[in-house]
Structure 1
Amino acid sequence: MSILTRIRQIDRRRALAGMVLSYALAVVGGAFLGAEITLRSKTRRVKGEFVPVGRRGNSVYLPASPETLSRGVVGIVPLLPNQGHALLGPHKLVGTLVKREILEERGVLPNGSLAWVSTFVYNGTPEQLGVDYEVTSVNTEVGDMPAWHIPSVSGGKDAIAIVIHGHGGQRAQALRMLPALRRSGVASLFVTFRNAHGAPRVGQGYLSLGDKEAEDVIAALDWAKDAGYSRAMLYGFSMGGNVALSALRPRHQPYPIPVTGVALDCPALDWRDTIRSNGQRYGIPGFMARHIGNFVQYLVTRRSGQDFDVVDQLAAASRFNLPILLWHGTRDATIPIRQSDTLAALRPDLVEYHRVEGAKHIRCWNIDPAGYDAALEGFVARVMGDNEL
């Protein structure tokens, strides 16, 4: 019997039913996975790759990989032996290897060592930058949240930046920005929030995408007040940006100390859009990504009671009343840049927007460290005013 004859004998109704069932199973499976990631994602280690290092003078040679080929500055930490840390400049292909020049080095990066390399640059504590800091905790109604307190260069206690990591992130991911914060004269408090790595687990361990986590930021402002600080700015990365903006809601005011500005790096402003976009990110057709995205939202709401309207910061944009410094990369595959485009268009009176060409998710600093630092230091000077230098 020929193949054509066999095809003609197939029961079309049964075939169609099988296709519909397969599609439904794919949607349900994708939605359950998406809901689990949305609700619980957290990591123990800062993202990076382990590679062997070749070194000649100030030049470092690495095998080609997504991380070593990334645009802009990367960081590298030798593991065997663990003796230092270095910042490496933009890459250049040399045969099958990636060549980068050392921009800064602390300790020793030996030839032949095994090393961690990452666009997040640092994977430790402020000590990795040679900066003194205090391990502390922020007391909240659901437990103590681990934090790093980095005093200002002068030791003064006037202004402080509350630095908030993102979904599944860690405090170390923002250490790239610590030198600029210190040059600006402010102290810093790198905080964690409930259900993140190292923080207390609440209930089923579900994240609320900025809603309840904002209460932990308000508790951080209480910590700052008790420590003697008189004003603060909020600085959020990815979901941390949504947390920072959620803290601006009227129900959280008056603040323990005045908040004078908000800095946002690739913020998650509309979670519905983010969920749909991440479906398409993995090559799922648009119509299927929409179905999975809608079902993810349904599952998240059913499991955790999540109200997506509460964390829709674009809908809330008309209520914002503080200066906002905003970065977003054009190659961000995690949070669509159109969200930041929309916020900047809705509130040009408040938003200073830096749209960084070629930058991936929370990698805007890596593309242009000097430009990023200048914008951050200028913003701190503007919103903090006469802080003690």
Structure 2
Amino acid sequence: MSILTRIRQINRRRALGWAAFSYAVAVLSGAFLGAEITLRSKTRRVKGEFVPVGRRGNSVYLPASPETLSRGVVGIVPLLPNQGHATLGPPRQAGTLVRREILDERGVLPNGSLAWVSTFVYNGTPQQLGIPFQHTAVHTEVGEMPAWHIPAVSGEKDAIAIVIHGHGGQRAQALRMLPALRRSGVASLFVTFRNAHGAPRVGKGYLSLGDGEAADVIAALEWAKAAGYKRAMLYGFSMGGNVALCVLRSRHQPYPIPVTGVALDCPALDWRDTIRSNGQRYGIPTFMARHIGNFVQYLVTRRSGQDFDVVDQLAAAPSFNLPMLLWHGTRDATIPIRQSDALAAARPDLVEYHRVEGAKHIRCWNINPEKYDGELEAFIARVLPGVKV
């Protein structure tokens, strides 16, 4: 019997039924996984790779990989032996290896060592940069949130930046920007929020994508007031940007101390769009990604009570009244850049927008650190004038 004959003998209704069943299983499986990631994502370690290091003078040779080939600056920490930290400049191909020049080095990066390399540059505490800081905790209604307090260089307790990490993120991811914050004259408080790694678990451990976490940032402002600070700015990364904008909602005002500006790095502004986009990111056909995205939203709401309207910052854009500094990379595969485009277009009176060509998610600094730092320092001088440098 030929193959064509066998195909003709297949019961079409049964075949269509199995196809529909398989499609439903695929959609539901993807949705359950997506909902779990959305609600619970957190990591113990800063993202990076472990690689062997070859060193000749000021040049470092690394095996080629997506991380070692990333555009712009990366950081590297030797593990065996662990003697230091270095920042490395842009990559150049050297045969089958990647060559990068050392820009700055603390301690020793030995030839032949095993090292952690990452576009997040740092994986420790401010001590990794040689900057004095204090471990502290922000008291909230749901527990003590670990934080790092970095006093201003001047010692003045005037202005403070509240630095908010992202979904599944770590405070160390923002250490790249700490030197610029220090040069601007402000103190910093690198905070965590409920259900993030190292922070108290609340209920079933579900994230609320910005709304519930905003209460922890308000508590951080209370901490700053009790510590003697008089004014603040918010600085949010990815989901941390949504948290910062949730703080601007009227139900959180008046603030414990005045908030005069908000800096946003690749912020998640529309979670519905983000969920749909991340389905397509993994090669899922558009129509299937749309179905999976809809089911993810349904499951997240059923499991946690999440109201996606409450964390839709594009819809809330008309209500904002503070100056904003906004960066977003054109190669961001996590949060679509169209969200930041839309916010900048909706509020050109408030938003200073920097669209960074070639930057991946919260990697805008890496493409041109000097430019990014200059934009941050200028914004701080504008929204927190008179800070003693």
Q: Same fold (TM over 0.5)?
A: yes
Match of 1:22 in 2: 22
**In the alignment, residue 169 of structure 2 is paired with which amino acid?**
G
CA distance in structure 2 between the aligned counterparts of 1:24 and 1:282, rounded to whole angstroms: 18
Asked if residue 380 in structure 1 is aligned to residue 380 in structure 2, the reply is yes
Rounded to whole Å, the distance in 1 between the matches of 2:101 and 2:275 is: 38
Establish whether residue 244 from structure 1 lines up as the match of residue 244 from structure 2: yes
> Whole-Å Cα distance in 1 between the matches of residues 252 and 198 of structure 2?
25
Task: Find the aligned partners of 2:387 and 2:316 in 1 and give their Cα distance.
Answer: 30
Query: Which position in structure 1 is the counterpart of 2:67?
Result: 67
In the alignment, residue 45 of structure 1 is paired with which amino acid?
R
- Structure 2 runs not aligned, ≥5 long: none
Alignment of 1:251-290 (within 5 A): 251-290=251-290
> C-alpha displacement at 1:70, in angstroms?
0.4
After TM superposition, give the deviation of residue 388 of structure 1 in Å.
2.1
User: SS of the counterpart of 2:31?
Assistant: helix
Q: Which residue of 1 aligns with 2:363?
A: 363
Q: Which residue of 1 aligns with 2:230?
A: 230
Which letter maps to 1:202? V
The one-letter code sitting in structure 2 at the alignment partner of 1:215 is: A
Tell me, in whole angstroms, the C-alpha distance in 2 between the residues paired with 1:75 and 1:366: 10
What amino acid does structure 2 have at the position aligned with 1:371? K
Q: CA deviation at 1:387?
A: 1.3
For residue 217 of structure 1, give the secondary structure of its aligned residue in structure 2. Answer: helix
Q: Secondary structure at the match of 1:293?
A: helix
Whole-angstrom distance in 1 between the partners of 2:7 and 2:56? 64
Superposition pairs for residues 179-218 of structure 1, below 5 Å? 179-218=179-218
Shift of 1:36: 0.2
Aligned to 1:116: 116
Partner of 1:106: 106
* Counterpart in the other structure of 1:320: 320
Gaps of 5+ in 1: none
The C-alpha deviation readout for 1:52-89, integer Å capped at 9, x for no partner, is 00000000000001100000000000000000000000
Structure-1 residue corresponding to 2:57: 57
AA aligned to 1:127 is Q
How many residue pairs get aligned? The number is 389
Cα distance in structure 1, aligned partners of 2:364 and 2:107: 27
Q: CA deviation at 1:364?
A: 0.1
1:125: which partner in 2? 125
Shift, 1:258, TM fit: 0.1
* TM-score with structure 1 setting the length: 1.00
**Over 6 Å off, 4+ runs:** none
Structure 1 partner of 2:307: 307
How far apart are the structure 1 equivalents of 2:349 and 2:386? 23
Normalised to the residue count of structure 2, the TM-score between the two structures is: 1.00
CA shift digits 1:104-140 (9 cap, x unpaired)? 0000000000000000000000000000000000000
Residue identity in the other structure for 1:16:
L
Indicate the RMSD between aligned Cα atoms, in angstroms: 0.3
Distance 1:155 1:101 in 2: 35
Question: Distance in 1 between the 2:195 and 2:201 partners?
Answer: 5
Counterpart Cα distance in 2 of 1:370 and 1:9: 69
